[in-house]
Amino acid sequence: MLLYEHPLSSYAQKVKIALREKGVAFTAELPETFGTGRSDGPFAQANPRTEVPVLIDDGVSLFESTVILEYIEERWPAPPLLPRDPAARAQARMTEEVCDTQYEAVNWGFGEILWFRRATGALADHLRAEAAAQTRVLQDWLTGRLGGAEWFGGVSFGWADAAAAPMVNRSVHYGLGPPEGSPLARWHARVRERPAVAETFREFDAAAARMAEAADLYTTGGRRREYRDHRLEWMVKSGGVEVVLAGLRTGTIRFPWPDAASRPDADMP
Ligand SMILES: N[C@@H](CCC(=O)N[C@@H](CS)C(=O)NCC(=O)O)C(=O)O
């Protein structure tokens, strides 16, 4: 079984945590064309959006991390990640949804400044401060969802824990982790001890350490960052519209498929 992934991707981490919790073996591969938006090659064939994760299992090729998670849960039901009670299942999915959309976008925005150096000076300070403030709001929300429980799923680790772990861990990496000793910080300390999560976080740490050099590919190596839905919205709503415009001027950002870049015959500006 093949998983196209990037170790920094929170969506890929969620999937790897699920597979590892269930003891499912897989080969992880960073697609050669990742970040290029190229429409040729096996990665684009598996996912026209050219986003990771993509799971290829026995001829079945799947993209979208939530779709993949559903598949994993149904194909390898034990141990279950979703509780049995319909309301509790819906609650877990809701936590995942907010993590995948609002929380991920904030982390991505912070990374655009830290790793991809999209802004300097006052604009960079402003965007970092926005990300920090929004991170606090989201962590407060997650703290409310956790309540007094050990896991988001209640008594056992589950779906929402797998979704929230990469998000909160990324904040910790940025120095924006929950306050020491808080329920969310204690949850993070618990979750990172799980072998499935620890392995996934080790891969994240190794990739993060190489990030400065990888980021240079986007200024000198012809790669273009994908600015899409919640991420694009984050940049605009947080005051970084100039970052978007500069990215378009320098050709270092792209928008999602289908776009001109995915059509070899199209005239690019
Ligand atoms: N909604 C998708 C989002 C996937 C996504 O945005 N993946 C990013 C990595 S975190 C990606 O592959 N981006 C393509 C690029 O940057 O070129 C999912 O849940 O799988």
Rounded alpha-carbon distances, angstroms, from residue 194 to 18, 43, 162, 187, 221: 12, 31, 11, 11, 37
State how beta strands 225-226 and 253-254 pair.
parallel
Instruction: Tell me which residue of 195, 244, 253 sits closest to 22, measured CA to CA.
Output: 195
User: How many angstroms separate the alpha carbon of residue 147 from the centre of ligand 1?
Assistant: 30
pLDDT-derived band at 268, boundaries 50, 70, 90 = low
* Closest C-alpha among 198, 189, 159, 215 to residue 14: 159
Grouping H, G, I as helix, E, B as strand and the rest as coil, residue 208 is: helix
What is the pLDDT, as a whole number, of residue 214?
Answer: 82
Residue 32: which of 18, 46, 16, 17 has the closest Cα?
46
Backbone angles phi, psi at 39, to 5 degrees: -100, 5
Better-predicted residue by pLDDT, 261 or 214: 214
Determine the distance separating the centroid of ligand 1 and the alpha carbon of 85, expressed in angstroms.
Answer: 30
Ligand 1 atom having least distance to the Cα of 9: 10
Residue 269 banded pLDDT, cuts 50, 70, 90? low
CA distance 56 to 1: 6
* Residue 261 pLDDT exceeds 70: no
Using most ligand atoms within 8 A of CB, pick from 10, 13, 51 the residue to mutate for ligand 1.
51
Closest CA to 230 of 105, 51, 127, 110: 105
From the list 203, 174, 202, 199, the residue with the least C-alpha distance to 7 is: 203
> Ligand 1, closest atom to CA 37?
17
Eight-class DSSP state of 124: H
pLDDT range class, residue 238, cuts 50, 70, 90? very high
79-260 has which CATH code? 1.20.1050.10
pLDDT interval class at 267 (50, 70, 90): low
Q: Order of strands across the sheet with 27-29?
A: 27-29, 2-4, 54-57, 60-63
Residue 229 has pLDDT above 90, yes or no: yes
Mutate which of 3, 11, 218 for ligand 1 pocket (most atoms within 8 A of beta carbon): 11
Place 216 in a pLDDT band, splitting at 50, 70 and 90: confident
Q: How far apart are CA 23 and CA 114, in angstroms?
A: 35
Show me where the domains of the chain are located: 2-75, 79-260
What distance in angstroms lies between residue 249's CA and the mean position of ligand 1's atoms?
Answer: 23
| Average pLDDT estimate for 225-248 | 97
Interacting residues of 246 by C-beta distance below 8 A, sequence separation 6+: 118
Q: Whose Cα sits closest to atom 11 in ligand 1?
A: 51
Give residue 264's pLDDT band: very low, low, confident or very high (50, 70, 90): low
**pLDDT (mean) for 154-177:** 98
Which residue in the block uniquely carries the two structure tokens 């141990």?
79
- pLDDT 10s digits, 85-137: 999 999 999 999 999 999 999 999 999 999 999 999 999 999 999 999 999 99
Please give the helix or strand (H or E) that residue 261 lies within, else none: none
CATH superfamily of the 2-75 domain: Glutaredoxin (3.40.30.10)
Which residues line ligand 1 at a C-beta cut-off of 6 Å? 6, 9, 11, 35, 50-53, 64-66, 100, 225-226
Q: What is the pTM of this model?
A: 0.97
Residue 45's H or E segment, with its range, is: helix 42-46
**Protein residue with its CA nearest to atom 2 in ligand 1:** 64
The pLDDT value recorded for residue 262 is 62
Beta-bridge partners for 55: 3, 62
Ligand 1 atom with the shortest distance to the CA of 225:
16
